[in-house]
């Protein structure tokens, strides 16, 4: 039996030790029922991720997911801004689309027919049930990090390592093509990266959950050029459709643009509606 308290502690310690930060989590829920789901959110965050002073940032987001086995389609967009002296001084926007195919859902019916035809017992769980294939695309504009545009496209497998009622754990890895256009005089970049993530969801009850995501992205021709991002959040639902989410984490860029810090930090609170 998995010790939920130890998993929670292991998830929180590394994030708190680094001084809490928020990143954009564009991944869909690990375990989602068939059908359509939507989410709207308003957020406030305290961030320190460039050469400016720490600042309070307001944001909003919207997401939609549709699952019809074996496919999951997910789209999310988020934006934020900071006002100073009545003027917009900093802002960011992100759009992310992801398509996920469950290998288990795809081949299980065929495997069951083969088992029945050969007189064997149909297995409830098979090794291929854990395998998924994903492709994704993303666009970012982020004045906080001196990004005029960061455009991504990737493809690769994902593996559901643990799938029980109270604990979900998924590991993903992908080839990712990255185009970066910086604000200012810094030249553009076209990078081939190896992108990896680990996603965890701990759900002791229907109204309470802890969610964590960690990304590590390495440039294929130079592993010294890497990005590391981690976030953890506590989600509490007051009703079936309304709740709050509190979280934090950190970002690390080994080669940031000029005058931008390597490490960014953030704590964040969200009010959300799901339907």
What's the rounded Cα separation, in Å, for the pair 244 and 150? 29
What's the rounded Cα separation, in Å, for the pair 128 and 94? 33
Residue ranges with strand state E in 183-254: 189-205, 208-219, 222-237, 242-253
Q: What are the sequence ranges of the domains in the chain?
A: 4-274
The CATH number assigned to the domain with range 4-274 reads 2.40.160.40
Buried b (16+ CB within 10 A) or exposed e, 15-47: beebebbbbbbbbbbbeeeeeebebebebebbb
Per-residue pLDDT of the chain (275 residues; tens, 9 = 90+): 445 444 444 444 433 332 222 335 688 888 888 899 999 999 887 766 554 555 678 889 999 999 998 999 999 999 887 766 555 567 889 999 999 999 988 887 776 676 666 767 767 778 888 999 999 999 999 887 778 899 999 999 999 999 998 999 999 999 999 999 988 877 899 999 999 999 999 999 989 999 999 999 999 999 999 999 999 999 999 998 899 999 988 889 888 877 778 888 888 899 999 88
Contact 72, 158 (CB under 8 A): no
pLDDT of residue 114: 65
Contact 234, 245 (CB under 8 A): yes
Alpha helical stretches, state H, 4-102: 4-17
């Amino acid at each position: 039996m998995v010790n939920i308290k130890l998993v929670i502690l292991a998830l929180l310690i590394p994030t708190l030790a680094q001084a809490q930060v928020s990143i954009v989590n564009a991944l869909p829920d690990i375990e989602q029922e068939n059908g359509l789901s939507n989410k709207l959110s308003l957020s406030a965050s305290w961030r320190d991720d460039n050469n400016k002073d720490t600042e309070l940032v307001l944001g909003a987001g919207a997401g939609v997911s549709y699952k019809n086995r074996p496919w999951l389609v997910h789209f999310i967009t988020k934006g934020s801004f900071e006002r100073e002296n009545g003027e917009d001084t900093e802002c960011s926007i992100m759009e992310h689309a992801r398509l996920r195919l469950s290998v288990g859902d795809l081949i299980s019916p065929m495997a069951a027919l083969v088992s029945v035809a050969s007189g064997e017992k149909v297995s409830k769980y098979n090794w291929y049930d854990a395998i998924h294939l994903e492709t994704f695309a993303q666009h970012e504009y982020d004045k906080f990090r001196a990004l005029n545009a960061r455009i991504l496209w990737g493809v690769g497998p994902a593996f559901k390592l643990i799938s029980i009622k109270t604990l979900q754990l998924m590991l993903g890895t992908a080839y990712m093509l990255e185009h970066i256009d910086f604000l200012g005089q810094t030249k553009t970049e076209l990078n081939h990266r190896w992108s990896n993530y680990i996603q965890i969801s701990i759900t002791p009850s229907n109204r309470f959950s802890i969610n964590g995501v960690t990304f590590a992205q390495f440039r294929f021709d130079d592993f010294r050029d890497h990005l590391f991002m981690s976030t953890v959040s506590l989600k509490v639902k007051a009703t079936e459709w309304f709740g709050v989410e509190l979280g934090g984490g950190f970002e690390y860029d080994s080669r940031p643009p000029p005058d931008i810090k390597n490490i960014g930090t953030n704590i964040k609170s969200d009010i959300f509606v799901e339907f």
